[in-house]
Structure 1
Amino acid sequence: MPFFDYVILDQSGKEKKGKMEANDVETVRSQLKAQGLIPIAVTEETLLNKEITFGGGVKPRDLSLFCKQFHSVLAAGVTVINALQMLSEQTEKKSMRKAIRDVQLAVEKGETLASGMGGQPQIFPPMLINMVEAGEASGNLDTAFERMATQFEKDAKLRSVVIRAMVYPIIVCVVAVAVVILMLTFVVPQFMSMFDDADIKLPKITLAVIAVSDFMVKFWWLMLLIIAGIVIGLHFYKASDTGRMTLSRIGLRIPLFGKLIVKSSAARFTRTLSTLLAAGISLIDAVEITAKIMDNQVIKDALIEAKEEVERGVPLSEPLEISGLFPPMLYHMVKIGEETGNMEAMLDKVADFFEDDVEQTTQVLTTVLEPLIIVVLAVVVGGIIMSVLAPMFTLYSSVDKM
């Protein structure tokens, strides 16, 4: 779903800006009015008007620390307003510090904490806002923050495991490409003049390497433009609905990595859903909130469809199974949870299983990819070296015969 920037008047008549993910402009206006806010302007966020920030993004570990600190001060008997004041002074990240101060101002004017946090959607995700709202309604706000601290901590750990699995092969590939470029632009040209002076017939592989090297030396600027164009094009394509869906489908089909994406998504889905249900949030709302935090668009759409089926009275396990995306263990355990009425416990067990499975899968990936990448690098670099050495041997042989 696209994001929309909006300008509203709050209950005190103060103008505020924010951002919301929704299907269309009317949905945004309806949700804002439902919160007692007056929408002044709502515009869809595009690549041209998207706000660009450097280093201001809030990560799961930032949110985990925020929730831990909030839980600690509330458990100590500190009021919400004083807690917000303390946290704003302790937070180092500027974007988050400003958001906490804005929430504090909103609470001081009579808004609920959930409402104030809802005005900062670029910092506080819907899951946290809904948990806070449920905590305020039940009088267990400190417990809500404690649960969310655990949730964000597990989410951060899961992300770091997945990132580690992907970073290593990327670094090795970048180093390999850099080595090949250096050889083609600096090493090979030094031998080209020698081959030109010598009256020998060069092998086809040597001619091919020389042609590539000559092109890279003469048209390096064109290659930089092509690379920049590809990077920018992918960025624009990924930002579009079609591109996001296409890249998500491709990601799921990549050997090993596709399974890792599914398993990590299953772990996040079950852990988040369990946390929300334990807080008293309805299954429909919990599935909708969980769908929004999914990174893969295909999986996100499958969960949105599952939510719509649940609204029609269909058990959650059925659309999860029909989607064909999730491992059988997930929807079987969900079905057991539905039948026994113990959904939260079942989801927690599934989340534990998939989190361990993701860690094992990343180890397998590293074990498989490390020798594979080294072999590919050896073949490429070895091929370039042999393409240079082969005519050198021919040249030396002709000199010995003279």
Structure 2
Amino acid sequence: MARFKYSGRDKRGKRQGTINSSSRREALLKLKEEGIRINDITEIPESILTKDITFGNPVKLEHFVIYLRQFSTLLKAGVTVVDATAILAEQTESKALKKALIVIEQDLREGNPLSESVRKQKKIFSPIFVSMIKAGEAGGNMDETLERLAVHFEKQHHTRQKIISSLTYPLVIGIIAIAVVIFLLVSIVPTFVKMFADMGGELPAITQFVLNASSFMQKFWWLLALIMILFSVVIVYMRKSKETKFYLDYAALRLPIFGKMLQKAVLARMTRTLSSLFSSSVPILQAMTIVEDVVENEVIARVIRDSRDSLEKGLSMTLPMKRHWAFPPLVTQMISIGEESGALDSMLDKIADFYEKEVDIGTDRLKSLIEPIMIVVLACLIGGIVTSIMVPMFDMFNQFDKKY
């Protein structure tokens, strides 16, 4: 929602002030209804204090899917695109989507096509959405296109949530383990330092190591915190550059256990997106360009780029894929069959279904495998610290018994 500064006249004389509106045209209409004749109206630039700060897409995927389902239903019921947009702007729970739809409605009423209106809202609507809407306008099957988009984003959301849920458990356990170890080293272990010093003699190696670690943590905890912050900043910065992001994505795909699952998730996303675009009659070269941008993995994106170049030369899109380790024979063979039979969208859909099921099964197995491993790791860490304290105490008790 933009803010405008205006000056004009009404029955009482000169008027000036500010008004909130989705567009300059809407602001003029509102002021006209209030009986104000406008001399000048200008948009007030957003400041840091008033601007909405968002990271990534500000609209939750579940809200976006609901919007697509409702939009498709309204169009099937005979409601016009303009009226459907106005209705959905009132009904949506997402503030960001509501603001975007209000602007889109005004744009539509000025005679612009929906594809051009949504293209202007880049933070909300992805390139695949814009391209499929444009194809739906050309084919006159907008309701079917919206339904296909809803299915696409639902499956994408499901796969992403499965990956996140499988990684959340080890992450949470790891954070808990680190927190417990830090607490023991900083709060518990120091209480035994004086006791061990009074005992004299040589301490066991494990006890000396824990005492040194405790001393280091107390003196240089800020250094560890600084290293973790710097590491996080470096990773975020590296992912902004395609060159360094390539090496990070490569390393992620080569990880033991997790790498295979991530590879299947990326392939499912790639084939699902291509299938959706082909089903909506988006030109194949344009579809490959869109997928290269939305696949979110630079290793796979480079292969897609090579495949697009291969198509431009009149060759098969699978040639670069067959030479790359990230594409299993199942993918390249089924795409080749799809190219030869003219049913590429159907074959890609089957590949996506297969890998989405593989991700589901893989994440379930991973959870059952990681749970006991993380428990053992946590027990070893805490048990090691406790053991390092108990061993010299037992020696002290044994010496006490021998004396008395």
TM-score scaled by length of structure 1: 0.84
CA contact (8 A) 1:126 1:289 kept: yes
Whole-angstrom CA distance in 2 between matches of 1:209 and 1:57: 46
Are 1:189 and 1:213, in contact at CA under 8 Å, matched by a contact in 2?
Answer: yes
Equivalent residue letter for 2:286: D
Alignment of 1:134 with 2:135, yes or no, is: yes
The equivalences for 1:104-123 within 5 A come to 104-123=105-124
Q: Which amino acid aligns with 2:265?
A: S
One-letter amino acid matched to 1:179: V
For 2:311, the equivalent position in structure 1 comes to: 310
Structure 2 CA distance for aligned equivalents of residues 347 and 237 of structure 1:
32
In the TM superposition, 1:69-148 aligns within 5 A as: 69-148=70-149
Pair 133,14 (structure 1): closer, same or farther in 2 beyond 3 Å: farther
Residue identity (%): 38
1:274 and 1:94, CA in 2 relative to 1: closer, same or farther beyond 3 A? same
Structure 1 contact 56–93 (Cα < 8 Å) conserved: no
CA positional deviation for 1:56: 6.4
Instruction: Give the secondary-structure state (helix, strand or coil) at the position aligned to 1:316.
Output: coil
Determine the C-alpha separation between the residues in 1 that align with 2:283 and 2:57: 33
How many Å apart are 1:55 and its aligned residue?
Answer: 8.9
Does the Cα contact within 8 Å between 1:238 and 1:244 map onto a contact in 2? Answer: yes
2:228 pairs with 1:236:
no
Q: Is the 8 A contact 1:56 1:94 kept in 2?
A: no
Distance 1:55 1:267, change over 3 A: closer
1:59 is displaced (CA, Å) by 3.6
By how many angstroms is 1:140 displaced?
0.7
Show the counterpart of 2:385: 384
CA contact (8 A) 1:249 1:298 kept: yes
- The gaps in structure 2 that reach 5 residues or longer are 1-22, 26-50
Q: What's the counterpart of residue 207 of structure 1? A: 208
Matches within 5 A, 1:348-363: 348-363=349-364
Question: 1:52 Cα shift?
Answer: 4.1
For residues 15-94 of structure 1, the aligned pairs below 5 Å read 52-53=53-54, 57-94=58-95
- 1:367 Cα deviation from its structure 2 partner: 2.2
State the SS of the aligned residue for 1:219: helix
Kept in 2: contact 1:274–1:345 (CA 8 A): yes
Q: Deviations over 1:169-217 (max 9, x none)?
A: 1111111111111111111111112111222321121111101101112
Deviations 1:205-254 (A, max 9, x none): 11111011011122323332222222222222222333312211110110
CA RMSD of aligned residues (A): 2.0
**Cα drift, residue 57 of structure 1:** 2.0
Moved over 4 A (4+): none
**Secondary structure of 2:124's aligned partner:** coil
* Partner SS for 2:316: coil
| 1:141-160 pair list within 5 angstroms | 141-160=142-161
TM-superposition CA deviations, 1:93-131 (whole Å, max 9, x none): 222211111211211111110000000111100101111
Alignment of 1:339 onto 2:340: yes
Q: Distance in 2 between matches of 1:266 and 1:241?
A: 19
Shift of 1:88: 1.1
Measured in 2, the distance between the counterparts of 1:157 and 1:62 equals 14
Shift of the 87–277 alpha-carbon distance from structure 1 to 2, 3 Å rule, reads: same
Query: Which stretch shows the higher mean deviation, 317-326 or 357-366?
Result: 317-326
Change (3 A) 1:241 1:136: same
- Whole-Å Cα distance in 2 between the matches of residues 58 and 298 of structure 1? 27
1:291 alignment partner AA: E
Question: Deviations 1:70-95 (Å, cap 9, x if unpaired)?
Answer: 10111111111111111111122222
Structure 1 residue 324: deviation in Å? 2.5
CA displacement at 1:338 relative to structure 2: 1.2
CA distance in structure 1 between the partners assigned to 2:135 and 2:24 by the alignment: 26
Once the two structures are TM-superposed, the CA of residue 395 in structure 1 deviates from its matched residue by 0.9
Structure 2 equivalent of residue 43 of structure 1: none
After TM superposition, list the pairs within 5 Å mapping 1:222-371 onto structure 2: 222-371=223-372
Counterpart CA distance in 2 for 1:285 and 1:54 is: 27
Residue 398 of structure 2 aligns with an amino acid whose one-letter code is S
Task: Please say if residues 71 and 88 of structure 2, whose CA atoms lie closer than 8 Å, have aligned partners that are also in contact.
Answer: yes
What code does the residue aligned with 1:320 have?
A: M
CA, structure 1 residues 241+350, in 2 after alignment: closer, same or farther (shift >3 Å)? closer
Q: Secondary structure at the match of 1:359?
A: helix
Q: Deviations over 1:14-55 (max 9, x none)?
A: 89xxxxxxxxxxxxxxxxxxxxxxxxxxxxxxxxxx994269
Kept after mapping to 2: 8 A contact 1:200/1:395: no
Deviation sequence 1:141-187 (CA, Å, 0-9, x none): 11110110111111111111111111111111111111111111111
**C-alpha distance in 2, partners of 1:220/1:76?**
63
Change (3 A) 1:264 1:351: same
Q: Counterparts of 1:141 and 1:114 in 2: how far apart (Å)?
A: 11
**1:56·1:95 contact (CA, 8 Å) conserved in 2?**
no
Q: Structure 2-normalised TM-score? A: 0.84
